[in-house]
Each structure stands twice: as C-alpha cells, then as structure tokens.
Amino acid sequence: GAVVSQHPSRVICKSGTSVKIECRSLDFQATTMFWYRQFPKKSLMLMATSNEGSKATYEQGVEKDKFLINHASLTLSTLTVTSAHPEDSSFYICSASWRAYTDTQYFGPGTRLTVL
Amino acid sequence: QKEVEQNSGPLSVPEGAIASLNCTYSDRVSQSFFWYRQYSGKSPELIMSIYSNGDKEDGRFTAQLNKASQYVSLLIRDSQPSDSATYLCAVLSIRETSYDKVIFGPGTSLSVIP
C-alpha cells in the first residue's frame, strides 16, 4: 500500500514556459501533500506543504507566485512552475501522508525538470 | 546548529558486514523518527519508522532510538551491494508557532563493496 505517483517523470521545456506536475496518492487519501526539490548530490529541500482544500504553506524563500500549488482533492496535488528558467531545473518530488504532518510520508518517484 | 545532522560519508563497508548509520537531532520534544533510502536519481523510500526508545528490528534493518541523547541510528546487517545508496534520517519537529514539520538530514552515502 501507500503508493504515490507523479507525472510526468521527465520534462524538458523552453525558458519562459509553465510546467505542471501532478502528484497522486493511488491507494489512500492524503490529507497532506508535500513538495520538495533536490539538486544533484544535495538533500531534500521542502518547498511547501498543502492540505486538501486549503492554501499551501510555503517555506521561507520559496516564491508562491512562481511555484503554484493546488490540492484539489484528497488524492491529487499539482505543482506548476510558472515562467520556468534554467535555474528551476531540478528534481521535484512530492510526498503524501494520511494525517497532517505527524504521519509517515510516502514519496512519489519524482519529476526531473530541465529548462533550456 | 542544524536540526538534523548526519555524517555525509561516504561510508564504505565490505559485503556481509554491519553498516552503522547515525543521526543526531536538536529538537528535544521530537517524537517521530524515520529512515529513508534514496538511490541515485530516484526518490526516497521508507525503510523504517521508530517512536519509542530502544531497538526496532525489521529484517536486516534495526533502528535504535535514544531520546535522552537525541540520536537515532540504523544498523544494516549482512550488507549487500544493493544496499549502496544514500540514507536519510528524518525527524518530526514540533513547533510552537507554526506547523509541525518533518526535517530531513543531509543523508549518509553508503557503499557496500563486493
């Protein structure tokens, strides 16, 4: 159990375009979903936390207008990177938990974004 | 002081040996602790969670928690080359003024030599 999917797994786009990444919990209802980014050989960096039906909580230094997060249902959260630039190229990973914050997080397989 | 600290490694052990991975944390009231494994280019996968002092065993993995000393460790017995990965320690941080949050350590790179 506790399967989380992400789509797409890889995306290459031109600078200035917007990219949407979907995160789905397949076999459980995720009260809370988390979005991380990870640069090569670096640790996970939490970008934001989202609860179903409410606005996401962004970490300090993460631009909420740049990284739009929507958690429309208990099984789906989306991250949209708006007007992407080469410095946004990274590995984006979502995770989901049954209950808010205190529960185990299960990770999706990640999305590798390359902005040309 | 960083909230969750781990030796970055790389930690190298011969195949069949015990690999010992350590993690210290700064938040004294943390109650939930997790170990994740991350292969290169992949996302983290949960190995084990531990909530009480002492040892918790699952197959070749044993997690050890000592809240008084604020450390949590992961032992891997009979290490295999397939165990070569980065191991992430994660701690639930209780925050008085904002949401509780799971904090990840920087990870320890483990290499099991055949």
Q: How many CB pairs under 8 A join A and B?
A: 45
Residue B101 pLDDT > 80: no
Instruction: Please give the mean pLDDT across all residues of chain B.
Output: 91
- pLDDT, one tens digit per residue, over B5-40 is 998 889 999 999 999 999 999 988 888 899 999 999
pLDDT digits (tens, 9 = 90+) for A41-73: 888 899 998 888 788 889 999 999 999 999 888
Residue B82: predicted pLDDT? 97
Q: How far is A41 from chain B (nearest CA, A)?
A: 9
Res. B95: pLDDT tops 80: no
pLDDT number for residue A17: 96
Q: Is the pLDDT of residue A93 over 80?
A: yes
The whole-angstrom separation of Cα A114 and Cα A92 is 11
Provide the b/e sequence for B12-21 (b: ≥16 CB within 10 Å): ebeeeeebeb
Which residues of A are less than 8 Å from B92 in CB distance? 101-102
Query: What is the rounded CA–CA span in Å between residue A94 and residue A36?
Result: 6
Do the Cβ atoms of B43 and A106 come within 8 Å? no
User: Cβ of B42 and A106 within 8 Å?
Assistant: no
Chain B from 55 to 84: CB within 8 A of any A CB: none
- Tell me: pLDDT of B96 over 80: no
Closest by Cβ to B101, choosing from A101, A104, A107: A101
Residue B2 above 70 pLDDT?
no
